Amino acid sequence: MSEAGKSDSKRSHVQVTEISNEEELATVLEDAGDKLVVIDFFADWCFPCKLISPFVLDLARTHTDVIFVKVDIDESDEIVERYEIRSIPAFVFIKSGRKLDSITGANYDLLTKKVAQHKIQAATEEISIL
């Protein structure tokens, strides 16, 4: 198999993990260290959530150095309250356990921009510390 084929095969197995409680979220955030974490708040009944979902998976495949997780608002009241989610889809950006930003709506262009922005910001902060 060619190197390109191996790379494509590896990328196709990227998944966005669904978490359902504070303990799972704490583990994800702790394991992430200084990596950017993007939380996708959704519901099964939410049509815009269903529309943006494949694009979130594409972003996870493209940005393998960013951790993407999903939270079903109907199953995770604690997390929804913690991040003050009022409408969905909503995306929260976290680094080193600290909320950096959030957006609401199925706006792929804005989501892509924010992932790139906060990923670069995370890398820039790391470089400035050194």
The residue annotated as part of the active site, out of 29, 49, 59, 94, is 49
Q: Using CA atoms, how far apart are residues 25 and 107, in angstroms rounded to an integer?
A: 24
Residue 42 φ/ψ, nearest 5 degrees: -145, 175
Q: Please count the helices (runs of H) and the strands (runs of E) in the chain.
A: 5, 5
Length reported for the chain: 130
The residue annotated as part of the active site, out of 38, 46, 59, 106, is 46
117 given a catalytic annotation: no
49 given a catalytic annotation: yes
Burial of 86 (0-12, 13-18, 19+ CB in 10 A): exposed
Annotated catalytic sites, by residue? 46, 49
